[in-house]
C-alpha cells in the first residue's frame, strides 16, 4: 500500500513537470483566486497593456502637436505674405523694375496681366506654388507727382455733425430721488440730429429746445452706425427744476497737429490719422472745421511709459485761419488750404518751385538741408508764424527702404529736418497708418522731445530726396520710435 502511494506520487510529479505552473495553479480550485503567482502574472499582463496604451496616447499627442505646428507655419506664412504683398501699387514711368522687386517672393508666381480699366490699370493674379490662388495686385500707372510738404504745427478746430453722446448719467430730483431717463436708450457714440423733428446742430440748440418741452416725452432722432433712428425719452426734472435728458454731450473738438502737405490744387492733408473722441474712442463725424496757425509754447519730453506732447497757443481769429477742414478720415484730416496773407496757391507753388530748382542743383540730399526753408517767409500767412512749404516729389511704397530717413517738424524753433531711421516696413498692414516703423536718431530732437511726442502727428518723412509718408503714432514704451503712413495712402482722399 505504501509502495503504491509512493508510485502514484512520483507519477504525478513527473506529469506535473510537463504542465506550465500557471495551468497547474488554475486547475487547482483552492489556488485559483489566491495564488500569488497567478496574481503576479495578471499584474504583469495589465502593466504590459498599460505601456501599449500609453505609447499610443503619446503617439497621438505628438501627431496632434505636429499638425498644429504645420497649421501655425502655414498661417504665419500666409500672414507674412499678406502683409508683404500689397493690394495695389502705383508705378511711375520707367520704374517698372520696382514692381518686380517688391513682388519677388519664393513660392509665389503671377499670372499674365489683365487690363481692368480705361486708365491703364491692370491686375496681377498671385498664386502660391503656381496653383493656390492668393490675391490680386492692382497696378496703376502714375505720373511722377509732386506736393508741397510742410512740417508746421497747426491748430485744429472741428465741429461734429450733430451732438455727440458721450455717456448717460443720473439726475437727482428735488425730492432726492435719482433717475436715468436715457439709460439703455441712447448709447455712447450716438449723434443727436433732431429733437421733435427740429434740427439740432450744437449743444445750445439742444438746451434751448429742452427748455420749451415742459417735461413732456420727446422724440430724439439719433444717427447710429450710419442709420438715423427715432427714440422716445421722458425728461427728468433736476433739483433746480430744469428738465434734462440725463446725457453727457459734445459738439466740437480742438487741438494741435502737424500739416503734412498741400497739393497743387490747394488741398491739404494733415495728421496721418483720424481724430477720435477721447471718451468713446470712435472716429468723429464732422460737419466742418478750420485750420489755424499755432505757436509752440513748450514741450513735455516723452519717456518710457509716458508719451510727451507739444503745448501750443491757437488764436481762433478769422485772420489766423489757413484752411477749412472738410474730411476726418482714418488716414488724416483734409480740406482746402488758404493763406491769411492773401497769397493764392499759384503764388505759393511758384515760390516752392523756384526754391526746388536751387535744391535740385545740389549734389546730394543732405547738402540741401541748409537752404531747405530759405523761401518760406515769401508766403508766410503771418510774419511771426510763417507757414513753410516746399515742393517735393512723392515716393511710392515700393520705393521705401529700411535705413536712413528724416522728418520735418517744429518743436518751438521753426521747421527743421531731423535724422531718423526706418526699421520695418509692412506693405499691406490692415491699419494703413501703421505701415512702417520709424526711429528718431537725431540727438537734437531726442534732447528736446525724447523722440516723437503728441502733436507731431503728420510730420513729413523724407527719404532719398522724396516725401514718402508721415509720422502717425508714438510707441508708449519707446518714445524714440513710432509708426508712419505711406504718403500715397494720405493722397487717396485728396
Q: Under a CB-based contact definition with an 8 Å cutoff, are residues 291 and 323 in contact?
A: yes
CA distance 164 to 280: 10
Digit-coded pLDDT (tens) for 369-423: 323 333 333 333 344 446 889 999 999 999 999 999 999 999 988 999 999 999 9
Is residue 447 over pLDDT 90? Answer: yes
Three cell numbers written together for 168: 448717460
Percent of residues, the chain, with pLDDT higher than 90: 47
CA distance 134 to 70: 19
* The 3-state secondary structure of the chain, one letter per residue: CHHHHHHHHHHHHHHHHCCCHHHHHHHCHHHCCCCHHHHHHHHHHHHHHHHHHHHHHHHHHHHHHHHHHHHHHHHHHHHHHHHHCCCEEEEECCCHHHHHHHCCCCCEEECCCEECCCCCCEEEEEEECCCEEEEEEEEEEECCCEEEECCCEEEEEEEEEEEEEEEECCEECCCCCEECCCCCCCCCCCEEEEECCEECCCHHHHHHHHCCCCCCCEEEEEEECCEEEEEEECCEECCCCCEECCEEEEEEEEEEEEEEEECCCCEEEECCCCCECCCCCCECCEEEEEEEEEEEEEEECCECCECCEEEEEECCCHHHEEEEEEEEECCEEEEEECCCCCCCHHHHHHHHHHHHHHHHCCCCCHHHHHHCCCCHHHHCCCCCCCCCCEEEEECCHHHCCCEEEEEEEECCCCEEEEEEEEEEECCCCCCHHHCEEEEECCHHHHHHHCCCCECCCCCEEEECCEEEEEEEEEECCEEEEEEEEEHHHHHCCC
pTM for the whole structure: 0.75
Q: Please state whether beta strands 88-92 and 132-142 pair in parallel, antiparallel, or not at all (unpaired).
A: parallel
Three cell numbers written together for 243: 428738465
pLDDT value at residue 47: 56
pLDDT value at residue 117: 62
Which residues, listed in sequence order, are joined to residue 84 by a DSSP beta bridge? none
Task: Please state the rounded mean pLDDT for residues 78-86.
Answer: 76
**Better-predicted residue by pLDDT, 266 or 132:** 266
CA distance 346 to 352: 10
pLDDT value at residue 360: 29
Q: Under a CB-based contact definition with an 8 Å cutoff, are residues 365 and 417 in contact?
A: no
What residues contact residue 25 under an 8 Å CB cut-off, 6+ apart?
31, 32, 35, 37, 38
**Better-predicted residue by pLDDT, 225 or 84:** 225
CA distance 472 to 485: 7
Burial 209-234 (b: 16+ CB within 10 A, else e): bbeeeeeeebebbbbeeeeeeebebe
CA distance 375 to 371: 8
Q: How confident is the model at residue 54 (pLDDT cuts 50, 70, 90)?
A: confident
* The 3-state secondary structure of 208-255, one letter per residue: HHHCCCCCCCEEEEEEECCEEEEEEECCEECCCCCEECCEEEEEEEEE
Task: Please state the rounded mean pLDDT for residues 285-300.
Answer: 93
Number of CB atoms found within 10 A of residue 382's CB: 16
**Better-predicted residue by pLDDT, 410 or 28:** 410
Distance in angstroms between the alpha carbons of the first and the last residue of the chain: 126
Task: Please state the rounded mean pLDDT for residues 249-255.
Answer: 93
Q: Under a CB-based contact definition with an 8 Å cutoff, are residues 15 and 7 in contact?
A: no
Digit-coded pLDDT (tens) for 412-439: 889 999 999 999 999 888 889 999 999 9
Three cell numbers written together for 175: 425730492
Residue 466's closest CA among 374, 380, 391, 354? 391
The least confident of 17-26, 179-188, 200-209, 263-272 is 17-26
Residue 488's closest CA among 470, 472, 464, 465? 470
Work out the angle at residue 137's Cα, subtended by the Cα atoms of residues 459 and 425, and round it to the nearest 5 degrees. Answer: 35
Residue 125's closest CA among 104, 140, 109, 141? 109
pLDDT value at residue 365: 29
The least confident of 83-97, 240-254, 275-289, 454-468 is 83-97
Give how far Cα 341 sits from Cα of 116, 336, 385, Å: 46, 15, 11
Farthest CA pair distance, the chain: 145
Amino acid at each position: 500500500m505504501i509502495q503504491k502511494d509512493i508510485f502514484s506520487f512520483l507519477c504525478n510529479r513527473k506529469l506535473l513537470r510537463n504542465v506550465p505552473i500557471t495551468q497547474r495553479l488554475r486547475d487547482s480550485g483552492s489556488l485559483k483566486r489566491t495564488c500569488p503567482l497567478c496574481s503576479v502574472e495578471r499584474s504583469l499582463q495589465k502593466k504590459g497593456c498599460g505601456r501599449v496604451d500609453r505609447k499610443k496616447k503619446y503617439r497621438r499627442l505628438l501627431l496632434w502637436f505636429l499638425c498644429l505646428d504645420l497649421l501655425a507655419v502655414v498661417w504665419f506664412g500666409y500672414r507674412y505674405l499678406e502683409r508683404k504683398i500689397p493690394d495695389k501699387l502705383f508705378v511711375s514711368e520707367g520704374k517698372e523694375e520696382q514692381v518686380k522687386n517688391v513682388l519677388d517672393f519664393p513660392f509665389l508666381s503671377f499670372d499674365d496681366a489683365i487690363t481692368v480699366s480705361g486708365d491703364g490699370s491692370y491686375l496681377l493674379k498671385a498664386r502660391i506654388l503656381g496653383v493656390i490662388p492668393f490675391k490680386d495686385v492692382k497696378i496703376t500707372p502714375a505720373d511722377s507727382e509732386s506736393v508741397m510738404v510742410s512740417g508746421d504745427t497747426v491748430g485744429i478746430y472741428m465741429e461734429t455733425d450733430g451732438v455727440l453722446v458721450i455717456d448717460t448719467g443720473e439726475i437727482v430730483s428735488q425730492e432726492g430721488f435719482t433717475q436715468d431717463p436715457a439709460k439703455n436708450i441712447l448709447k455712447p457714440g450716438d449723434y443727436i440730429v433732431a429733437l421733435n423733428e427740429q434740427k439740432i446742430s450744437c449743444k445750445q440748440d439742444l438746451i434751448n429746445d429742452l427748455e420749451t418741452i415742459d417735461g413732456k416725452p420727446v422724440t430724439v432722432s439719433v444717427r447710429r452706425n450710419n442709420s438715423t433712428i427715432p427714440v422716445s425719452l421722458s425728461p427728468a426734472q433736476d433739483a433746480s427744476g430744469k428738465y434734462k435728458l440725463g446725457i453727457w454731450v459734445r459738439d466740437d473738438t480742438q487741438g494741435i497737429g502737424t500739416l503734412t502737405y498741400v497739393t497743387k490744387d490747394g488741398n491739404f492733408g494733415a495728421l496721418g490719422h483720424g481724430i477720435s473722441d477721447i471718451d468713446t474712442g470712435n472716429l468723429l463725424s464732422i460737419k466742418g472745421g478750420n485750420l489755424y496757425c499755432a505757436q509752440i509754447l513748450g514741450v513735455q519730453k516723452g519717456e518710457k511709459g509716458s508719451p510727451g506732447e507739444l503745448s501750443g497757443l491757437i488764436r481762433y481769429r478769422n485772420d489766423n485761419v489757413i484752411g477749412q477742414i472738410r474730411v476726418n478720415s482714418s488716414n488724416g484730416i483734409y480740406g482746402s488750404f488758404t493763406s491769411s496773407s492773401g497769397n493764392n496757391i499759384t503764388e505759393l507753388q511758384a515760390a516752392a518751385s523756384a526754391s526746388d530748382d536751387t535744391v535740385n542743383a545740389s549734389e546730394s540730399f543732405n547738402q540741401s538741408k541748409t537752404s531747405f526753408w530759405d523761401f518760406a517767409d515769401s508766403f508766410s500767412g503771418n510774419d511771426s508764424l510763417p507757414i513753410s512749404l516746399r515742393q517735393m516729389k512723392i515716393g511710392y511704397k515700393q520705393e521705401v527702404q529700411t535705413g536712413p530717413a528724416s522728418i520735418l517738424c517744429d518743436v518751438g524753433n521753426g521747421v527743421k529736418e531731423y535724422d531718423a531711421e526706418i526699421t520695418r516696413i509692412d506693405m499691406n498692414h490692415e491699419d494703413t497708418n501703421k505701415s512702417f516703423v520709424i526711429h528718431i536718431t537725431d540727438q537734437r530732437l531726442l534732447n528736446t522731445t525724447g523722440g516723437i511726442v503728441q502733436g507731431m502727428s503728420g510730420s513729413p518723412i523724407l527719404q532719398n530726396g522724396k516725401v514718402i509718408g508721415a509720422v502717425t503714432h508714438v510707441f508708449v514704451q519707446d518714445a524714440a520710435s513710432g509708426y508712419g503712413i505711406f504718403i500715397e495712402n494720405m493722397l487717396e482722399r485728396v
